[in-house]
Amino acid sequence: MTSETREVVAAEPGKRRGWGGFGAVRTAWARLPACVQATLPLWVASRVAVALASLAGARLLSNGPARDVPGLTTLWDRWDVGLFTKVARYGYLSPSYSDRTEVDFPGLPLAIRAVHVVVPDWIGAGLVVSFVVGAIGVAALWRLAADEVDDGDARFAVLALVCFPYAVFLFAAYSEGFFLGFATASWLAARRDRWLLAGLLGAAAASARVTGIAFCAALIVQYVLVRRAAGRPLIARPALALAIPPLPIAGYLVYLRVRSGRWDSYTDAMHDGWHRAVDWPWNGWSRTWGSAFDGDGASTFVWFWRGELLAVVIGVLLTGALIWGRRWGEATFVGLMTVIMSFTNYYASGIRGILVAFPLYLLLARAGARWPWVRGAYVWVCGPLMVIFVVAFTQGYWVD
């Protein structure tokens, strides 16, 4: 037997055991964009860790029989997940339920309904949507950070996101992950002067949350900055793409007008279902402060209100830092988002607004590159809080 024959024979068992297939997987992985290779393992590992934390919390905190401990989809069927699922199943203003779901934009419910075609469980379909759009978001976030710092420091931007205390809402079927995924991808396209793509992705983001109003304005500012930096005219065909992101918002309002006969259906639902209305920021601050430091209030809700106050403070400070750094587009997004969440009779869901503020994680990546201790301090402080909130949320305790 020649040496060539022995090599072929030796290789055959490996092929029969599937080693050749493993090589194909490695080849396919090598062909993926650098942003995917840098972030997908971290994203998958973080999702597995969150799922395990929720399951472990359920078992540790249950005194009943093991067979009665809820499974994964039951644990994540909490709070607004049910509202998004109702919209996905029955649509808005349906006789099948009485909740005022008009406050929830249609982007996520439509995605859940689409995925439900192949994922029979509605909650499971929502978790799949959050996983996929989250993977898009962290890849785009890494690429945005890698434009400014080295690859390792850019990875900290992703780590900062998944360790954010309220990152539980990136795993659950909430609209935060949907918005963040498409908003970061849109911002990356805008930086690359690819405005049609930026407009389409921005429209997907705007279809998910009222925060899309601030993002639409930020894209306009970013367009001016990018075109001027490149020495290109502002009045040009790419500017037409800026009209795309507001379309889902306008379309949704028209839809509600047709269905309800009212132009104020959104604000009426907010007032009727959540007793929220437009008000001066200092009035909202005063009411929220009173709830946050009410000694007779339930401890869970007291900390919720304190988180809302902190969200406004972070929004103001982050906007100031971005203005100081002359990052006008990012400052527009965070600043207008802070205005939207503060001009109300009490603060709510603001901390989830900070969760989707991707300029925060880019700022942290730059800070971590300059002062390495920032990375360790952030993870050690925020990571444990994130795990606590995962357990609290899946056990039915209100965290935001």
pLDDT tens track for 367-395: 999 999 999 999 999 999 999 999 999 99
- In the chain, what percentage of residues exceed pLDDT 90? 78
Residues 247-258, mean pLDDT to the nearest whole number: 96
* Averaged pLDDT of the chain: 91
Name which of 206, 131, 123 is nearest 170 in CA terms: 131
Distance CA 221, CA 322 (A): 14
Distance CA 15, CA 188 (A): 42
Residues 20-36, mean pLDDT to the nearest whole number: 80
Give the pLDDT of residue 28: 81
- In the chain, what percentage of residues exceed pLDDT 70? 94
Residue appearing with tokens 């007032």: 271
Give the pLDDT of residue 208: 96
Cβ neighbours of residue 195 closer than 8 Å, sequence gap 6 or more: 189, 223, 238, 239, 241, 242
Q: Which pair of structure tokens corresponds to residue 73?
A: 């989809």
Give the pLDDT of residue 8: 41
pLDDT in tens, 221-236: 999 999 999 898 898 9
Query: Where does the chain show beta strands of DSSP type E?
Result: none
Residues 309-335, mean pLDDT to the nearest whole number: 97
Q: Which pair of structure tokens corresponds to residue 309?
A: 């106050």
Give the pLDDT of residue 5: 46
Give the pLDDT of residue 20: 55
304 contacts 400 by C-beta, under 8 angstroms = yes
Lowest average pLDDT, out of 22-36, 46-60, 192-206, 306-320, goes to 22-36
Q: Is the per-residue pLDDT at 400 higher than 90? A: no
Q: Is the per-residue pLDDT at 164 higher than 70? A: yes
Give the pLDDT of residue 294: 81
Cβ neighbours of residue 306 closer than 8 Å, sequence gap 6 or more: 292, 293
Q: Is the per-residue pLDDT at 10 higher than 50? A: no
Give the pLDDT of residue 273: 87
Q: Is the per-residue pLDDT at 2 higher than 60? A: no
Q: Which pair of structure tokens corresponds to residue 263?
A: 């132009």
pLDDT in tens, 256-303: 999 999 899 999 999 998 889 999 999 999 999 998 888 777 777 888
Determine the Cα angle at 374 with ends 166 and 392, to 5°.
20
Residues 67-84, mean pLDDT to the nearest whole number: 90
In which band, very low, low, confident or very high, does the pLDDT at 110 lie, cut at 50, 70 and 90? very high
Distance CA 317, CA 319 (A): 5
Q: Is the per-residue pLDDT at 319 higher than 90? A: yes
143 contacts 35 by C-beta, under 8 angstroms = yes
The amino acid at 266: Y
Residues 316-332, mean pLDDT to the nearest whole number: 97
Q: Which pair of structure tokens corresponds to residue 141?
A: 């976030």
pLDDT in tens, 130-153: 999 999 999 999 999 999 999 989
Instruction: Check residue 322 and report its DSSP letter.
Output: H
Helix axes 358-370, 175-191, angle to 10 degrees: 70
Q: Is the per-residue pLDDT at 15 higher than 70? A: no
Q: Which pair of structure tokens corresponds to residue 133?
A: 């759009």
Query: Where does 44-155 show beta strands of DSSP type E?
Result: none
Give the pLDDT of residue 299: 73
170 contacts 134 by C-beta, under 8 angstroms = yes
Q: Is the per-residue pLDDT at 314 higher than 80? A: yes
Residue appearing with tokens 């080295």: 150
Determine the Cα angle at 70 with ends 80 and 355, to 5°.
35
Give the pLDDT of residue 24: 80
